[in-house]
Structure 1
């Protein structure tokens, strides 16, 4: 059910017997995008994935390709918060033999496994990853941090540093503050109709932690866990970072 923006927001109603329900943190169960059960409804998952992709006007596809290029030299990669696993699938297609997807929703994992059978999937969240130390030499975080309270981002970065091997690469892509913080006139002036579209979208689609995210200093937080910034791109509507775990 889609919730009207001005009505009282609901919470995810997990289906009885949902696998791994006890491992899903409370913040994940808040309403996102005016669609509380989008990730936790077998009936809605497929449309949810396709609808989000369409709403981003091809930007997610371009970002996935960029992430894949940055991770192409890796032998093992984990796609954290993989959702429908389009990024994980692309990494596997381009020749990375050991690709893993991690997501709290069993329905998203089922969707990903059907589409990308060569990928290994696990249910879980970034701040409590089920993988052993030094397991991967690459990790990707695509549109995940802005849906987490800041204290969990810190925990998540510690976990990423734990599962990465020395010299491992972390790539991150999240909604840019450029369109979120711009006024309508400024968005149009600087970015044209796409800037205006993404500015409106950012304020229509409910994200409970997005304001805190845009105040969060990701570079300092990452460096506190040994992840050194190699590149940052202040793009619109997506901001992009590449980090390297210190050797």
Structure 2
């Protein structure tokens, strides 16, 4: 059943025609368009995301994700805004993402099938593929981010879905990567995500998680600057400036304990700036995978 599932054809996200969302229908040749969107991004009030008619999988997208995360007008649900975010995220993180993604890839070395949950623009999935993982899946609810990823990183299977409802068969992957996803999940749904990870990761499979650190969120300005210099100050400002409605609950919950409760043995839990890195292994004897005939 598992191999049959992965042999099925999926949407060719690089070629599919996606409908324009309201930001795409603006006149981008006019300077006032950029000013209007900037003013909306800088506003303290946030509006709900509006999905255009005909968007693939719109009925399967959880309502909690339909918010203007990171101050993005209409969130990650438009061609222009989503592509701009995917291109600019690494610059906003001052180039630190390269080392973070490389560490995730090292933790999953030797895996044959890895899923990148909340793959966004596909950068981590691309690193995993380049590191030698034979089969990489990238899963995200946004068709616009999936299209960007599919065009940027061919040779990877891109799947639309939610982290708490992947649609994958039981024990179908032997590695899972998560990068800057869990802090955007409400506590109620985080339990569902962890239960889904327990279901889809084979016993003995590995989990590598990279999330924003509590250092820049919890510490006051002077301790952050004293410990991490001007970069610490920048990430402190960034954590206070972008819209992250579930960031505080994420930092408050005992993530390592919750992983253990869902059958993952934590091997590393390191807090720095700007990242928190967690590495774990799915408990239980590794599944015996029959050799192909």
Distance 1:148 1:209 in 2: 6
Aligned partner of 1:51 in structure 2 is 88
Gaps of 5+ in 2: 1-36, 285-293
Moved segments of 4+, more than 6 Å: none
Residue 190 of structure 2: SS of its match in structure 1? helix
Q: Counterpart of 2:245?
A: 208
Q: Matches of 2:155 and 2:88 in 1, distance apart?
A: 25
Question: In the TM superposition, what is the alpha-carbon distance from 1:234 to its structure 2 partner?
Answer: 1.0
SS in 2 for 1:126: coil
**Shift of residue 4 of structure 1?**
4.8
- 1:136-151 to 2 correspondence within 5 Å? 136-151=173-188
Question: How far does the alpha carbon of each residue in 1:78-100 deviate from its partner, in whole angstroms, 9 at most, with x for none?
Answer: 00000011111111112211110
Give, in whole Å, the separation in 1 of the partners of 2:49 and 2:91: 23
Taking structure 1 as the reference length, what is the TM-score of the superposition?
Answer: 0.97
**Which residue is equivalent to 1:95?**
132
Q: Please say if residues 139 and 164 of structure 1, whose CA atoms lie closer than 8 Å, have aligned partners that are also in contact.
A: yes
1:84 aligned residue (97, 121, 127)? 121
Q: Distance in 1 between matches of 2:121 and 2:165?
A: 20
Matches within 5 A, 1:109-124: 109-124=146-161
Q: CA deviation at 1:8?
A: 2.4
Number of equivalent positions: 247
Residue 53 (structure 2) aligned to one of 16, 29, 42: 16
Number of the residue aligned with 2:224: 187
- Which structure: larger Rg? 2
2: CA distance, partners of 1:70 / 1:7: 39
Answer yes or no: is the 8 Å Cα contact 2:120–2:146 preserved in 1.
Answer: yes
Indicate the larger mover: 195-204 or 35-44.
35-44
- The counterpart of 1:176, out of the listed 196, 200, 213, is 213
CA RMSD for the aligned pairs? Answer: 1.1
From 65, 73, 77, the equivalent of 1:28 is 65
Please list the CA deviations of residues 35-57 of structure 1 after superposition, one character each: whole Å capped at 9, or x if unmatched. Answer: 14241101222211122110101
2:163 pairs with 1:126? yes
1:156 paired residue number: 193
3-state SS in 1 of match to 2:132: coil
Deviation per CA, 1:25-44, whole angstroms, max 9, x where unpaired?
11000221111424110122
SS state at 2:210 partner: strand
> Structure 1, unaligned stretches of length 5 or more?
none
**TM-score, normalisation: structure 2:** 0.82
Deviation of 1:217 after TM superposition, in Å, equals: 1.1
